[in-house]
Structure 1
């Protein structure tokens, strides 16, 4: 039986099937009220891992989650990301991993999320214009100061992961990965070998899983949806995978979480394992 829990960093237990908050509208009005309801429903249904980022609305997504869920249940992990900022020449978003920027974004996240420590803080992207050692070293220093509990990376290569691990313990990696997209398979393998949580994003290839005849056939056999099959495949692919599918609709949220009840047999897995983005 596939385990439904994982200990991030070796000690922080979460339900493997989490929730990505990126798609939640944050502007005032009915859409925001719907977002608050979705976040609360996720927790009601037992989600203990919610992913957000400064990039999602310049902090508005973090504020939304705090409004919806604070004071947080003691077993809830809200993880956020830093390292993208409006510091381009015309004020546009760009990768920015300069130590001062990272520090400021962490301080802002602490305030918006209403916490004294962010239990899992992830570097949203590696800034190619700032030495990796400076970026990861800043997060290490913030951890030493007690403002971060654990450190994660996003969209990294095997080599970048190794470089970062030489500086500080890495608890998680968040890379794009799905039944139809295996580009980062080597990174997943490295994470599994090291016991590092792997949080795939774009877990159902933006809904494209349903366009695959093989996924659709397996779904029909189970009386499930293609999305549920894609998530079930991820849960069975590796014990370190923690999918974080996102949605702004409660019915889709409930559909996603029900994927835990879809148990693929070896024949199904062999069929899906042969798929790729180019198939």
Structure 2
């Protein structure tokens, strides 16, 4: 059973209109360590940014947001205007260059092609009209965030099902390792004892061989690692059933799972047990890839 997992990947688009203005919000999100922000707003509407950030923090916990707002006036072309300050600056720079090198004077079309010299003219709006338009934009932006959160939850449900299946596989492989006769302390001790006898035939007293074999068998015992793997699987299922952001907790749990699998592989004295350990590492890597996208 999975709870309300959310992905950090999603998209939403909202169109709206207010008092002769038409606008489109597009909101995308991808993975992020925290709640990161990139917004492209029309000139003159940068004041919306702080309120937008505050609203996003109320609805989302993690992810890198890319937000775009397209705003157009209905039924008329506002035309273009010259940015006098940018033009004066460009002319002054050209005059400095002409003092150093001989060159032709600038042409009008060349100056107008410079970035920032010509820009779209803005219709004059009263303060009341601007405030009303900004309020409508923020209402629509809130709807866009709700749409994004819904898209992230839908993807989170699918990811939760994948993660649940992967935890089932880890549980099965852990059970396979526990059932492997080569993992039993007695089997480990007998195998090590036989290897020592073959290597040290007659060179070491029998009781010393038994003592060394027992010590090596204890070091090769993987029961604690298997117990911890089982415990981590239970913790993972509890996180999947939990509401709210759990991505960081799942990421930490994945590191713990990987640590136990690595230890299992390093301790394994049998090829079959080592194979199980490698299969565990492969599935845990798949879990890690999924978890990177969980909010």
Scaled by the length of structure 2, the TM-score of the pair is 0.22
Report the structure number with the largest CA radius of gyration.
2
RCO greater where, 1 or 2, for CA within 8 Å and sep 6 or more?
A: 2
Scaled by the length of structure 1, the TM-score of the pair is 0.23
